[in-house]
Amino acid sequence: MGKRKKSSRTPGAGRKKVPPLDTVFTCLFCHHEKAVSCKIDDKARIGYLSCKICGQKFSADTDTLTQPIDVYSQWIDACEDVAGQDD
């Protein structure tokens, strides 16, 4: 009996690595880039967002699939809702 023929294909050769999602964003109020940091507390199921420059803060309820970009987009939606009520 002979050895098995080795596959010519290297493992994982066809897959591309997915780049990680951002956790630092641009502030909507002071417009500084990379000033808003987002952290998610999985145990408390709350996402925190705060600006280093102007001190703006936001928190939102999260679930197990929520990413920092989701908390940032919820903040954008909440700001648009408040701006829409003022008009």
Is 67 a domain residue? yes
Contacts of 66 (CB under 8 A, 6+ apart): 40, 47
CATH label of the domain that carries residue 54 = 2.20.25.190
Domain total for the chain?
1
The reply to whether 6 falls in a domain is no
Domain annotation covers residue 71? yes
Query: Of 29, 33, 25, nearest to 49 (Cα)?
Result: 25
Range of the structural domain that residue 29 is part of: 24-84
3 is a domain residue: no
The answer to whether residue 56 is domain-embedded is: yes
User: How far is Cα 2 from Cα 18, in angstroms, rounded to an integer?
Assistant: 40
Per-residue model confidence as pLDDT tens digits over 45-82: 999 999 999 999 999 999 999 999 999 999 999 999 99
Q: Which of 60, 55, 31 has the alpha carbon at shortest distance from 45?
A: 60
Domain assignment of residue 2, yes or no: no
In this predicted model, what pLDDT tens digit does every residue of 4-61 receive, in sequence order?
A: 777 666 666 677 888 888 899 999 999 999 999 999 999 999 999 999 999 999 999 9
